[in-house]
Structure 1
Amino acid sequence: MTQNASAPVVERIDARHRYAILVDGKTAGFTAYRDRDGQRVFFHTEIDDTFAGQGLASLLVHEALTDVRKSGKRIVPVCPYVAKYLTKHDEFTDITDPVTPEVLQWLDAELAAS
């Protein structure tokens, strides 16, 4: 059986503070972040039910974290999915910062203001 589907594409959308994963031009999911003092704080990852079970969340997060490395920022994994991903992928350990009460307080204020 031949599949005509194109490979998923990950895009950073700075205006919306997120990375989106597109399948055949449709948004299949996203991981949301806010930037803080050289850190990219990831706080939510979501894949549409229509696209579940295809490994898209893993691909999305991998591409997002790779982009963070290229940008020179550090990762703060508030999002449970990103945190779980990092426990299995130690290639990002050197640029990962812990989630602290200060980060959580800052993130709450950021999200309340937007």
Structure 2
Amino acid sequence: MSVTETVRNNEQLSRYELTIDGATAVAEYELRDGKIVFTHTHVPESMSGKGVGSALAKGALEDVRAQGKKALPLCSFIEAYIERHPDYADLVE
């Protein structure tokens, strides 16, 4: 499995998605006061340990930046990703 797919923002379901080989990892969010509040991230077991979660987090945070918004990581996975990648710390108020 190669993590070369594109993370997409599924606004109807309020989640970022990364689909590879028929499996989809998601980072769910809510919009609050102009911020994207990450509430839950799920990576299917078949995708675990292959960098999919990190690719999903990176793609989602890049989209937040492109939209000129701020992020609020209530999800522990997104929070830990930002801690490991301080270049995204400016997205968090």
Say whether the fold is shared (TM-score over 0.5): yes
Report which of the two has the higher share of helix.
1
Aligned equivalents of 1:92 and 1:34: distance in 2? Answer: 19
For 2:5, give the aligned amino acid. P
| Residues 6 and 41 (structure 1), Cα distance of their counterparts in 2 relative to 1, 3 Å cut | closer
Aligned equivalents of 2:56 and 2:3: distance in 1? Answer: 15
Distance apart, 1:51 and its partner CA: 1.0
CA contact (8 A) 2:36 2:72 kept: yes
Q: Figure out how many residues of one structure are paired with residues of the other and give that number.
A: 93
CA contact (8 A) 1:68 1:74 kept: yes
In terms of Rg, which structure is larger? 1
The CA RMSD measured in Å over matched residues stands at 1.6
Query: TM-score, structure 2 length as denominator?
Result: 0.92
Name structure 1 gaps, 5 residues minimum: 98-114
Higher relative contact order (CA 8 A, sep 6+): 2
Q: How does 1:2-81 map to 2 (within 5 A)?
A: 7-24=4-21, 26-81=22-77
Query: TM-score, structure 1 length as denominator?
Result: 0.76
Q: Please list every run of at least 4 consecutive aligned residues from structure 1 whose deviation after the TM superposition is greater than 3 angstroms.
A: none
Name structure 2 gaps, 5 residues minimum: none
